Structure 1
Amino acid sequence: MGKGANLVPNESENVEKNEVKILKWNEIRKNKWIVIDNNVYDVSRFGKKHPGGETLLKNNVGQDATDAFISFHKDVKKVEKYLKTLKIGRVVPESDVNQNEERKDELHKDFQQLRKMAEGMDLFKPSAWFYSLHFLQLIVLDLIGTYLIYQSGYQNWLTYFIAVACLVTTQAQAGWLQHDLGHLSVFKLTKMNHFAHRVVIGAIMGFSADWWNSRHFKHHAKPNAIKKDPDIRFSYFFLLGKILPKEIGKKKKGWLPYNLQQFYFFFTLPPFLIPILSAAETAIYLTRRKKFYEMMWIGIFSIRWYLMFVPMLGIYGTIKLLLLVRFFQSYWFIWSTQMSHLPMEVDYDKDLSWFRTQLITTCNVEKSAFNDWVSGHLNFQIEHHLFPTMPRHNLYKIAPHVKKLCEKYGIEYQCKTMSQATFDIYNCLKESGEIWYEAYNNMG
């Protein structure tokens, strides 16, 4: 499993082999340890200190997390000091090995070579021009929207809705920028990424960077994994994939007529996700954890909107404007992100290789100026999931090399048109609903 290129150094280069405790995979799985580059770590007491959250670690225990570890951490050497205190031994590479594991190890090595190629091509280097212009569009659109509100208020509905369109676009594009900052792909220094992240998602958008990272990193580590990916926890309202609908149906469970979910999905989750569900989840998350610093940034957003719009629209008018902006922003977000995940495989965690896991749970949408802009380059969702810290303006450059690696291992690389990806949301919901209905009524 996961035999790498010494990505995480040993505790000491002078340690003799007979002094290192050798562990087998059955011991690692039983004790819920984590393996990184064949080194074994006991993370049971580190969970609460882990920046990505305790759950993120728990979702990877008993597995080789080498590729996930390298993909999430920009500077491996910086976290080396923490790893040294957690290391308890090394795994026996040849233990519990079968043909599938050997193939998995070979794919791991090829993927690491691909990563080195990307580094050699400077694809992890952000463009200051790209991100400066991206931030500038937020300021310009926000000012235009505010100006139009001051010019007409509710008097001219056309002007009002043009203003709403500008403010929606500001929020949607700020969402893509905060996403990049959360992945540490905008600035060279981690601290600068964290600070700018709070400015964008907090002061501009009114949400918490801490809350976002907590959810989003779990999704990246185990995309479309039942019980592990928070982005697919819709059990009471929607059923996804082929496994869960059948399980729920056989148990004669179902809150809603899931065989109709392809219709009610578009009128439920998209309009309520950001205005209601995300806002409530953020408030609960920050309150329970007493994240006062995060609350401060959201407070800045509230003050900003109060000063910008209350003098013209009043309190209720400003709240209505915010909800209207959130409503359209939510549709934009759901459409841009879920077309790359919902139609893909949804199953329990099978502990597959990092590369294979991302490819079976993620698809791309064709490149174009519009598709790149409207989706924040998440039309290259495959490459983004493989290399989360890569600046998004470089994702298309590594795509041809990812395709070649897929061809070598017979892994499907899906790239769709925007229209097909949109229709596939409907199609996958319909298929999952039918599976539930048949299992519920013992029809198959």
Structure 2
Amino acid sequence: MSAAVSPPPAAAARVGKNANAQDYTALAAYVRESGLLKRRYGYYWTRLIAAVLAFAGIWVGVVLVGNSWWQLALAAGLAVVLTQIAFLGHDSAHRQIFNSGPWNDWTSRILAGAFAGLSHTWWRNKHNRHHASPNQQGTDPDIAPGVVVWTADVLDTRTGLKGWFGRNQGWFFFPLLMLEGLSLHISSVRLLLAKGTVPHRWVEAPIVITRLALYVGVLFYLLPPSKAFAFIGVQMALFGVMLGGSFAPNHKGMPIIPAGMKVDFLRRQVITSRNIKGGVAVDFVMGGLNYQVEHHLFPSMPRPNLKKVQPVVRDYCEQLGVKYTEVGFFRSYKIIVAYLNRVGLADRAAFDCPVAAQYGR
């Protein structure tokens, strides 16, 4: 299907009291018939093989370069490769790569655990809850209170140093991203070592822990402590910035839906998501997540097809009168910082959901 193909007429979808729900049904049927949900094996096998070869090449380089500060360039390269591997793990977890569910799950598990050192189970559980209720208070874990707070009512409960930080948190956004990689590793290990039932714990735990141990062990075996610590610091910081920076612009600063509000699937996904404009470079840096609206509407759609369905989704939303948001790469981060600073100023008007009046609180 080309970008010139028109979306289904919105008027045909809006019949009866369940009109809003029917809007997505009509769009989904149209997309299924377009063939854009079919697997893209050539695309993904090419990237899977390239990512594994690049990962191996980085470590060959580490051995060959030896005791040199040029290792920091390899650390930066490893961060880029690991980010791309994490994107492939994300796609596989969303059933984008293979038709087989188990093939997707185990591919994601291996990519996340053996290469990136992250728990597939931890990430999948958190990410699935986010997809089910993006930017909804009380249900989306991505806006749950933490070091950063996303709503003024949470900040009101914080005093002292936490309160000061919350009032100035926008300026700490980018430095905090440098710690995101370390945070992901800690969260993964904590889940795998926690009490209770964890699916595939006895497969994931050895893979993740062995990978992390080998990573640290090899670096300290090959390099003096100063260079080993510097390598880990550069790689972790850049990995956190690249991975966290690819997810944050997609929802942060978009409308927050109050807890308990019922919003139909199409509007819930579209009004809380933001697309990032750009060419091939942005597609690479963000791993296709710059087409966030389309990804949330069709999570299992292969990454390269998202840009093909974008014009259809955008035109369809225009017919329905649903706000479709798309901004430039740098503009998106400016919006995030401004949003976080407005939380500190307790500007509650900034958090009103644009469909609140329609659906009621």
TM-score scaled by length of structure 1? 0.69
Q: Which has the larger Rg?
A: 1
Pairing 1:219–2:130 present: yes
- Tell me the equivalent position of 2:61: 148
For 1:376 and 1:363, the matched residues in 2 are separated by 15
For 1:365 and 1:137, the matched residues in 2 are separated by 25
Shift of 1:151: 2.3
* 1:337-356 pair list within 5 angstroms: 337-349=247-259, 350-356=261-267
- Tell me the equivalent position of 2:172: 264
- Tell me the equivalent position of 1:132: 45
- Tell me the equivalent position of 2:29: 116
For 2:39 and 2:79, the matched residues in 1 are separated by 26
Equivalent residues of 2:249, 2:332 under 8 A apart = yes
In structure 2, the CA distance between the partners of 1:331 and 1:104, relative to structure 1 (3 Å rule), is farther
In structure 2, the CA distance between the partners of 1:253 and 1:308, relative to structure 1 (3 Å rule), is closer
Residue by residue over 1:407-437, the C-alpha shift from the partner in whole angstroms, topping out at 9 and shown as x without a partner, is 1221110111111112111111122211269
Residue by residue over 1:136-181, the C-alpha shift from the partner in whole angstroms, topping out at 9 and shown as x without a partner, is 23123223322322222332x2x32221122111110011000001
Deviates more, 1:102-111 or 1:198-207: 102-111
Shift of 1:352: 0.2
- Tell me the equivalent position of 2:20: 107
Q: Which runs of 5+ in 2 are unaligned?
A: 1-13, 350-361
- Tell me the equivalent position of 1:365: 276
For 1:141 and 1:165, the matched residues in 2 are separated by 13
Pairing 1:382–2:293 present: yes
For 2:301 and 2:95, the matched residues in 1 are separated by 9
For 1:186 and 1:236, the matched residues in 2 are separated by 33
For 2:15 and 2:104, the matched residues in 1 are separated by 38
Residue of structure 2 aligned with 1:333, choices 238, 243, 252: 243
Alignment coverage as a number of residue pairs: 329
- Tell me the equivalent position of 1:205: 116
- Tell me the equivalent position of 1:165: 76
Tell me: higher relative CO, structure 1 or 2? Use CA pairs within 8 A at least 6 residues apart: 2
In angstroms, what is the RMSD of aligned CA positions? 2.5
Give, as a single letter, the amino acid of the residue that structure 2 aligns with 1:332. M
Shift of 1:264: 2.0
In structure 2, the CA distance between the partners of 1:173 and 1:267, relative to structure 1 (3 Å rule), is same
Pairing 1:414–2:325 present: yes
- Tell me the equivalent position of 1:279: 185
Residue of structure 1 aligned with 2:234, choices 294, 311, 324: 324
Equivalent residues of 1:145, 1:163 under 8 A apart = yes
Give, as a single letter, the amino acid of the residue that structure 1 aligns with 2:172. Y
Residue of structure 1 aligned with 2:211, choices 301, 304, 324: 301
Residue by residue over 1:210-249, the C-alpha shift from the partner in whole angstroms, topping out at 9 and shown as x without a partner, is 111110000100111112111112x353232xxx304643
Give, as a single letter, the amino acid of the residue that structure 2 aligns with 1:125. K
Shift of 1:103: 7.3
Equivalent residues of 1:259, 1:437 under 8 A apart = no
**Percentage of identical aligned residues:** 23
For 1:126 and 1:371, the matched residues in 2 are separated by 23
For 2:207 and 2:32, the matched residues in 1 are separated by 34
- Tell me the equivalent position of 1:21: none
Equivalent residues of 2:72, 2:231 under 8 A apart = no
Shift of 1:104: 7.0
Q: Helix, strand or coil for the counterpart of 2:178?
A: helix
Q: Which runs of 5+ in 1 are unaligned?
A: 1-100, 439-444
For 1:208 and 1:316, the matched residues in 2 are separated by 29
Equivalent residues of 2:278, 2:329 under 8 A apart = no
Residue of structure 2 aligned with 1:191, choices 99, 102, 116: 102
Equivalent residues of 2:15, 2:22 under 8 A apart = no
In structure 2, the CA distance between the partners of 1:161 and 1:103, relative to structure 1 (3 Å rule), is farther
Pairing 1:424–2:335 present: yes
TM-score scaled by length of structure 2? 0.83
In structure 2, the CA distance between the partners of 1:206 and 1:428, relative to structure 1 (3 Å rule), is same
